[in-house]
Structure 1
Amino acid sequence: MYLIFAIIFYKKRRYKDLNVTQNKLNDQSLFNLSWPLFIELALHMGMGVTATLMLSHYSDGAAAGVGVANQLLGIFILVFNVTSIAAMILIGQRLGANELSSARKLARSAVGLNFWFGMVVAILVVVFGETLLRLFDIQGEVLEYGLIFVRICGASLFLESLSLALSAILRSHGFTKESMFVSILMNVVSVIGYAISIFGLFGFPLSGVFGVSWTIVIARAFAVFILLYLVYKRIALTFNVSDFIKVNKQDIREMMYIGIPSAGENLSYQFSQLVITAIVASLGDASLAARVYITNISMICYLFTLAIAEGTQLLVSRYIGGRQFERALKRGIKTLKIAVIASSVAALAMAMIGAPILELFTDNYAIIAIGLPILWAVVFTEPGRAMNIVLMSSLKSAGDVRFPVLIGIVSMWGIAVTLSYTLGITFGLGLLGIWLAQGIDEWFRGIFACRRWLSKPWERVRVKSTVKGHIG
């Protein structure tokens, strides 16, 4: 009897704590939400940059192969991420509308759905990995290194899908610090594993790309276990076997309503990047390696933008759920101004430093010579990318999920791909022409996103079955 009473008391206390947390959600500031996201994203990107940096000292071919393989795996990870973002938006809208039980039910559905997505994709990548890599028109040692990475890391994609869903649940409830904590632990595990693998520390048998790949698998498994514990600890949410076997159909429909258009936009972007990578590969291994290095460098420029965009997405979803439309509008505009300034300053600083940054990755003068003018093209690209990232994500939180995919497909293929070939190959501008084409694409989408946001899309968009009539 005492045990039963203790359990009941414990559960009541946990739910009371949840209600207190719920009341605090609407009082969270963009800064409180975004600084842990910034650190988390920095660490997440840092894993890729660190791996590329270390592998570049191992072999330029290994760095290029892993860079291309990462781009391929990134396409599939986007599928999981889109589902997770949809869940984060929907949970945020329910919390904004004070529908706690519905938010918890949807969280379970998101984890179950991502688990099955992850399992199916992992099998496909392992079976068809070589065929998919050959689409990038790579060969020789670049292909060999890429294939090792794809087969090992691809098999663990279901772990990545689970961690993305669990992180989304924590973030939607305002626990961005916890998600950041997991990223810190993952980076510690990864850096140690990279050092052992690439520099042969302690005589470890797994070396080079093989060791780096297994390090990522171990880090992903570690993250899933820690996230499961944190989800239970912070929001008293546990998962049963039935949550993975039977996923609520209504929750799936709602996540797909937001997720499928978002997936369409992101997949279109990734496939357009595949074509652009093939164009770059036709310019030679030096251009391909330069693109991999500059891509990693440019991530630093829009890192802050990604963090505050995601924080804004969380806030906008809550404001929309609570029908605070004017507050949502102002939040989007304020974030846009901050993001454009920050990304422009970061890109300009990188361009002015120039060669020393590229020399961190390679001592190959041919690669450095190609990369130096690209750093100035990044200065042109990043403000447009900031507009695109901030406002497209906010539009999705407001329920305007079709516009981003429509304008995205038109711009990515009509501008980015077409101009990349025209400027890079036809006019002979090489990688510089390709980067300028992508900058024009970012600006085009960013300007249209700004116009769309200022038109107050929630006044004409009814979010289908998301907050049960709270948006009308």
Structure 2
Amino acid sequence: MLDKDTKKFTLWVLAWPIFIELFLQFLLGAVDTLMVSRISDDAVAVVGFSNQLFQAMTTLFVTVASGAGILIAQKLGSRKSGDARIIAIMAVSSTTIIGIACSVVLYVMPESIASVLQMPEHLLPLAGTYISIVGGGMVLVAMMSTLSTVIRNTGNTRGPMYVAIGMNIIHVIMNYGFIFGAFGFPEWGLAGVAISTVASRLLAVLLLIYMFLRSFEYRIKWREFKVFDRPLFGEILRIGWPLGVNLSCWVFSQLIIYAFIATLGATELAARTYMNTLESFCFLLGSSIAMAAQIQIAHLYGEGRIREAYRSAYRALGFGLIYVVVNAFILYVFGKQLLGLFSSDPAIIALGASLLGMNLILQPGKMINMALGNSLNAVGDTRFTMYISLGSMWIVATVLSYVLGIRLGWGLIGIYSCMIADEYLRGALSYLRWRGQKYLRKAENPDGAVPADAVKKPGEPVAAAGV
């Protein structure tokens, strides 16, 4: 029988609220794209391009947020709640400072940044407006991301889900008002969409702060945000900096690939943006399971239940593969009609539809890579995932994308082929590393001792982590 704390860290208890939260975040992006498409396809291209830029900026604070999240789950598993509390406070303080710096840079020179990243010249005025407003609120993204990560890794995955529901409702209402001049709102087009995004994020941050202050056994006081524990912060960076490099590899490689696509033309850029929206939906449940597995495995690892942690990765991978394959097939069947909801341009729809079959191949590789990569991160093996990302993302996903997509003229087909190869290569290497159990064996026998969960009496069933 599982105790209350153990039940809180079972895979499905963790995964379903994360799925709802991610689904609503996807909905936020899809509604943005759908509503912005009513302004123009150029506006859609600007939003898609700008979002890649914003993701690139998030790598500056994800180092702290991700490392802190894994450590919090490990510390709670090992019953060191005081350390977990201090780690959470330092993570929020640090990322808020970094977020403020990002906001200033994006607000001051939006068009210059877009121009350097090869945004088509006729889109620069629109990009300047959108990047300055949404980018100026980057501190809210930093706070929202860190607060959600901390709260989720305490086992409370429902709280961020409820916040996501409220944020989406407000954002959709304000979007509609600003785009169509409804509810007494001024008809401000893309600028209104940007304001709506920032306003809904501000409300989300306020709610998350309220939850964060009450996430641990003793309520966090405002004066505690001055706390800085050097050894614990060193632990955060030890796990977190490879995660930051890993994510930055992905985000910056995607940003460069977007720049490659931008050289192909606005049609290709819009088609990729629409496909990115559909692909995100396809992978939602798989991503939720992978994220939940990371929290569960980190908690089990911290608690010393090493064998259960090992098996949990394969359980999550099995469930995830089933769901992403089914979703990818549904998207393959109905994708053309779904693309028609976003654009009436036959060239954009035809180009997007040509990529649907490739998405069937892409999604399983993405699931293998994320489930096993997250499992490695959960036990602290973050440098390995960093090393394979540095090699595969830059050589396979980026350099080969340029060679096949631009130099040899294969366009988006060539770029997608390289993205698929990158996912499967990293997934295969992560599988071999997890199967080797380097970090798990080290934790099992730090002094040559046999851990309690590895010993069982004759006839006693092996305990399994809750699903």
Q: Does 1:180 align with 2:161?
A: yes
Q: Does 1:189 align with 2:158?
A: no
Residue 42 of structure 1, aligned match among 10, 23, 44: 23
Residue 126 of structure 2, aligned match among 133, 141, 145: 145
Instruction: Report if the CA contact (8 A) 2:365-2:424 is conserved.
Output: yes
Counterpart-to-counterpart distance in 2, 1:380 and 1:162: 35
Instruction: Report if the CA contact (8 A) 1:26-1:318 is conserved.
Output: no
Name the counterpart of 1:347.
328
Deviation at 1:209, TM superposition (A): 1.2
Q: Cα distance 1:198–1:401, how it changes in 2: closer, same or farther (>3 A)?
A: same
Q: Does 1:125 align with 2:106?
A: yes
Moved more, 413-422 or 184-193: 413-422
Name the counterpart of 2:298.
317
Give 3-state SS (helix, strand or coil) of 1:247's partner.
coil
Give 3-state SS (helix, strand or coil) of 1:138's partner.
coil
Counterpart-to-counterpart distance in 1, 2:199 and 2:217: 26
Instruction: Report if the CA contact (8 A) 1:56-1:362 is conserved.
Output: yes
Counterpart-to-counterpart distance in 1, 2:35 and 2:174: 11
- Give the counterpart letter for 2:274 in structure 1: Y
Instruction: Report if the CA contact (8 A) 1:114-1:161 is conserved.
Output: yes
Q: Does 1:78 align with 2:42?
A: no
Counterpart-to-counterpart distance in 2, 1:81 and 1:360: 34
Deviation at 1:249, TM superposition (A): 2.2
Deviation at 1:124, TM superposition (A): 2.1
Give 3-state SS (helix, strand or coil) of 2:284's partner.
helix
Pairing of 1:365-380 with structure 2 (within 5 A): 365-380=346-361
Instruction: Report if the CA contact (8 A) 1:149-1:209 is conserved.
Output: yes
Give 3-state SS (helix, strand or coil) of 1:98's partner.
coil
Q: Does 1:97 align with 2:78?
A: yes
Counterpart-to-counterpart distance in 2, 1:90 and 1:405: 18
Per-residue CA shift, 1:35-72, capped at 9, x if unaligned? Answer: 00000011112111110111011110011001101110
Q: Cα distance 1:143–1:237, how it changes in 2: closer, same or farther (>3 A)?
A: farther
Deviation at 1:203, TM superposition (A): 4.0
Per-residue CA shift, 1:160-184, capped at 9, x if unaligned? Answer: 2112222122211211111100000
Give 3-state SS (helix, strand or coil) of 2:422's partner.
helix
Count of aligned positions: 444
- Give the counterpart letter for 2:111 in structure 1: E
Instruction: Report if the CA contact (8 A) 1:344-1:379 is conserved.
Output: yes
- Listed as ranges, the gaps of 5+ residues in structure 1 are 1-20, 464-469
TM-score by length of 2: 0.91
Name the counterpart of 2:264.
283
Counterpart-to-counterpart distance in 2, 1:206 and 1:249: 50
Q: Cα distance 1:188–1:64, how it changes in 2: closer, same or farther (>3 A)?
A: same
Q: Does 1:210 align with 2:191?
A: yes
Instruction: Report if the CA contact (8 A) 2:59-2:244 is conserved.
Output: yes
Deviation at 1:384, TM superposition (A): 0.5
Counterpart-to-counterpart distance in 1, 2:169 and 2:59: 24
Deviation at 1:244, TM superposition (A): 4.0
Q: Does 1:329 align with 2:310?
A: yes
Give 3-state SS (helix, strand or coil) of 1:311's partner.
helix
Per-residue CA shift, 1:100-144, capped at 9, x if unaligned? Answer: 111111111111111111112212222343232123311344222
Per-residue CA shift, 1:278-298, capped at 9, x if unaligned? Answer: 211111111110001001110
Counterpart-to-counterpart distance in 2, 1:159 and 1:56: 25
Pairing of 1:309-458 with structure 2 (within 5 A): 309-458=290-439
Counterpart-to-counterpart distance in 2, 1:339 and 1:431: 27
Name the counterpart of 1:136.
117
Q: Does 1:272 align with 2:245?
A: no
Residue 107 of structure 1, aligned match among 88, 93, 104: 88
Q: Cα distance 1:155–1:426, how it changes in 2: closer, same or farther (>3 A)?
A: closer
- Listed as ranges, the gaps of 5+ residues in structure 2 are 445-450, 452-467
- Give the counterpart letter for 2:312 in structure 1: R
Name the counterpart of 2:465.
none
Per-residue CA shift, 1:235-255, capped at 9, x if unaligned? Answer: 355555544445332232111
Instruction: Report if the CA contact (8 A) 1:87-1:107 is conserved.
Output: yes
Instruction: Report if the CA contact (8 A) 1:399-1:462 is conserved.
Output: no
Name the counterpart of 1:10.
none
Per-residue CA shift, 1:293-337, capped at 9, x if unaligned? Answer: 001110011111110111101110011101111111100011111
Counterpart-to-counterpart distance in 2, 1:27 and 1:42: 21
Moved more, 73-82 or 359-368: 73-82
Instruction: Report if the CA contact (8 A) 1:312-1:394 is conserved.
Output: yes
Counterpart-to-counterpart distance in 1, 2:384 and 2:187: 47
- Give the counterpart letter for 1:190 in structure 2: H
Deviation at 1:233, TM superposition (A): 4.1
Instruction: Report if the CA contact (8 A) 1:66-1:149 is conserved.
Output: yes
Counterpart-to-counterpart distance in 1, 2:293 and 2:137: 31
Counterpart-to-counterpart distance in 1, 2:177 and 2:209: 28
Name the counterpart of 1:28.
9
Counterpart-to-counterpart distance in 2, 1:153 and 1:191: 16
Instruction: Report if the CA contact (8 A) 2:175-2:196 is conserved.
Output: yes
Moved more, 311-320 or 344-353: 344-353
Counterpart-to-counterpart distance in 1, 2:95 and 2:253: 25
Root-mean-square deviation over aligned CA pairs: 2.0
Q: Cα distance 1:346–1:82, how it changes in 2: closer, same or farther (>3 A)?
A: farther
Counterpart-to-counterpart distance in 1, 2:21 and 2:58: 17
Instruction: Report if the CA contact (8 A) 1:87-1:110 is conserved.
Output: yes
Q: Does 1:226 align with 2:207?
A: yes
Per-residue CA shift, 1:398-445, capped at 9, x if unaligned? Answer: 110101111111101111112212222233221111111101111111
Q: Does 1:56 align with 2:28?
A: no
Residue 154 of structure 1, aligned match among 122, 127, 135: 135
Report percent identity of matched pairs: 32
Counterpart-to-counterpart distance in 1, 2:333 and 2:440: 44
Deviation at 1:214, TM superposition (A): 0.9
Counterpart-to-counterpart distance in 2, 1:152 and 1:248: 35
Counterpart-to-counterpart distance in 1, 2:420 and 2:56: 21
Q: Does 1:167 align with 2:157?
A: no
Q: Does 1:200 align with 2:157?
A: no
Counterpart-to-counterpart distance in 1, 2:440 and 2:15: 28
Instruction: Report if the CA contact (8 A) 2:179-2:192 is conserved.
Output: yes
- Give the counterpart letter for 2:72 in structure 1: I
- Give the counterpart letter for 2:313 in structure 1: G
